[in-house]
Amino acid sequence: MKKIVKGNAWLKAGLLAICAVVSLSAYALTEKQEAAVAERIKPVGEVCVEGDANCAAVVAVSSGPRSGEDIYNGSCMACHSTGAGGAPKVGDNAAWADRIATGQAALYHSAVNGVAGTGMIAKGGCMSCSDDEIHAAVDYMVENSQ
């Protein structure tokens, strides 16, 4: 009886070893499979430092300051055309009257720095906009809301 049990133990150990070898060989990838995996897990982008010649990033260079209307259409319109977050709608004279009365400097300050406790975030979220471009957008909205 002991011999049968011993024999079964060897058989089990042998089968286990064969299964381990077969399992490990299932994880061996071809070069094509490795390339496909590398493609799927590669970084989405890279960080480049200005002046780094090894960086292949393409940077759009502005041809000059954008107009107030361009900034409005690209960054401000989402809230100032719908009233989202309590933003005064462009063209709503009553909503703009008190704001315009505070003066141009106050409007510029609010637009560039945001207004605490409201939905107005700094630069309306346009971090690529210069202060002058934000000022132009304010001017555009005021001109169309008087």
- pLDDT in tens for each of the 146 residues of the chain? 455 545 577 777 777 778 766 665 556 788 998 998 888 888 877 777 777 777 765 555 567 789 999 999 999 999 999 999 899 999 999 999 999 999 999 999 999 999 999 989 999 999 899 999 999 999 999 999 99
Q: Clarify whether residues 72 and 97 are in a common domain.
A: yes
Does one domain contain both 105 and 42?
Answer: no
What are phi and psi for residue 64, nearest 5 degrees?
Answer: 145, 180
Integer Cα distance of 95 and 128 in angstroms: 28
- Claim to verify: residue 81 and residue 137 sit in the same structural domain: yes
Q: Are residues 137 and 77 in the same domain?
A: yes
Same domain, 10 and 52: yes
Residues 6+ apart with CB under 8 A from 72: 80, 90, 137, 140, 141
Q: Are 90 and 81 in contact (CB under 8 A)?
A: yes
Question: How many domains would you assign to the chain?
Answer: 2
Give me 122's structure tokens: 């700094």
Residue that terminates a domain, selected from 20, 42, 59: 59
Residue 48 main-chain phi, psi, to 5 deg = -120, 140
Please give the residue range of the domain that contains residue 117. Answer: 68-143
Q: How many CB atoms lie within 10 A of CB 113?
A: 14
User: In angstroms, how far is the first alpha carbon of the chain from the final one?
Assistant: 103
Q: What are phi and psi of 133, to 5 degrees?
A: -65, -40
Q: What is the pLDDT of residue 113?
A: 95
Residue 107 identity: L
Same domain, 46 and 86: no
Query: Residue 93 is which amino acid?
Result: N
